[in-house]
Amino acid sequence: ISLLQIGVKRLFFGISANFVKVTMTPSTMEAWSITMNVNAGVPMKVGVLISPNVALMDLFGAHAVFGMVDNVELHIIWKNKTLLQGSPLFPIAATTTFEECPPLDVLIVGAVPPEVIADEDVIGFIAKQATYDPYLIGICGGVLLLGAAGLLRNRAATTNLHLLDTLPALGARVIAGGHVEKDGKLYTAGPATGGFEAALMVLAQLRGEETAKLLELTIEYHPRPPFGVGTPELAGPLLTAQTKEI
């Protein structure tokens, strides 16, 4: 077996199936096992809401974080299980319908088209799940969908720079800056890195900080943007004006 094959086996079987038990040495296994198994007897139920033309960038980071943790029920959720096209073009399908979805511990919502934000079935599903008091992760335009369900009223929230001015109409206290904004169990952020970071923060709440730290290192999450212009403050007014026209 080549070194490449060994590496792939370690990645997909060691990490994805149960990354802690495989990667820990015997001398540290017992201590880490205690940390990892906080609430691990009960599966964590995590839902990722999809739709036609959902912004996949908003979902993949959080999906990866929770999908690599042991004892998680991961539900990809939509009205039906028909094959959809995400945005940019990428085929996706739900594993769980609205009717099948159990009460969730975490619900992840990314940017969706306006017709989805106005869809009463979608809003009703989110509002129903909110009654179970899950952690809510809204990324980019997904924050607007949480707002449409009435979940931003009197809450601090952020989103991507193109949509910040829409939040007051949803009752939110607007926070700019490009970071993850936490208000109780509501976590909101802009696109790209926001999904990873919000998910790691919620994971720390549910399974302990050491678990989240280990996963952050395991996926080597350490953003180093090549141009350093990922916020309006860094980009300057000219480039910021250009992206707002997109």
Q: Which residues are catalytic, by number?
A: 140
Q: Which residue has the tokens 């809510």?
A: 136
Residue 6's φ and ψ, nearest 5 degrees, are -60, -45
For the chain, strand residue ranges (E) read 44-49, 72-78, 84-86, 90-92, 96-97, 106-109, 135-139, 156-157, 173-174, 181-183, 186-189
The separation between CA 153 and the C-alpha centre of its own chain, rounded to angstroms, equals: 21
Q: Which helix (H) or strand (E) holds 233?
A: helix 232-235
Distance CA 89, CA 87 (A): 5
d(CA 226, CA 146): 32
- 88: cis peptide before it, omega within 30°? yes
DSSP secondary structure, 138-192, as one string: EETTHHHHHHHTT--TT-EE---TTTGGGSGGGT-EE--SSS-EEETTEEEE-ST
From 232, 236, 132, 138, select the one nearest 186 (Cα to Cα): 138
Total length of the chain = 246
Task: Name the one residue in this structure whose structure tokens are 């040495």.
Answer: 25
